[in-house]
Amino acid sequence: MARFNKLHVLSAMIDTGMVPVYYNNNVEVAKQVVKACYEGGVRAFEFTNRGDFAQEVFGELVKFATKECPELILGAGSIVDPATAALYIQLGTNFVVGPLFNPDVAKICNRRLIPYTPGCGSVSEIGFAQEAGCDLCKIFPAGNVGGPSFVSNMKAPMPWSLIMATGAVEPTDENLSAWFKAGVTCVGMGSKLFPKEAIAKGDWQVITQLCRDTLSIIKKYQKI
């Protein structure tokens, strides 16, 4: 069962402005990455369903975070069907993210008041997702569907929209300022936050500092 309610989850995403996106099949590495992000100020973290037995790693992360990162909101990403959503909900996910919009996933998440953030590549998809109860929609792949200009042009007629950009997001002032000035609510960020060299060396402080610096940049441009 989710530890955090829907309003708490959405508030954390809005307040911090960033959701790290990560997958590793090694439970111990995943734990260290989650802890490093938490110490860097991250409060919502997306673990993606991208490998065999990913759900087992996620289950261990939920237990770990409960003890070691009590304020961290763990969510499951890369969810494309309701059966997989149900599996992660049973394991304690606090939110569900997908690369596409599946109305059947929306139904199962709504039943348990779990935020569902689907991937959308058009204004129509965002509209259909909002009709299905999706408060926060992900534009994905953000860099390929129009980038910041897509967000600003879409929000002109739909200013109520809450948008998370994922794809082509980088931890730099130039990149983040463009996204937030365009009107995103938050960003999802993957590999740029997790240098392979740092992970290979177990230098978790690098990830902590990257998160801290990125959140500091975001804070400058947020419109909360």
- The 10s digit of each residue's pLDDT in 22-74 is 999 999 999 999 999 999 999 999 999 999 999 999 999 999 999 999 999 99
Cα 205 to the center of its chain, rounded Å: 21
What is the CATH T-level fold of the domain 6-218, as seen in this structure? TIM Barrel (3.20.20)
pLDDT at residue 109 tops 90: yes
pLDDT digits (tens, 9 = 90+) for 139-174: 999 999 999 999 999 999 999 999 999 999 999 999
Task: Give percent of the chain above pLDDT 70.
Answer: 100
pLDDT at residue 224 tops 80: no
- Adjacent-strand bridge partners of 73: 44
Helices (H), 40-187: 54-68, 82-91, 103-111, 123-131, 147-155, 173-182
Residue 166: per-residue pLDDT: 97
Smallest CA-to-CA distance from 129 within 115, 142, 143 is with: 115
pLDDT at residue 112 tops 90: yes
pLDDT digits (tens, 9 = 90+) for 74-95: 999 999 999 999 999 999 999 9
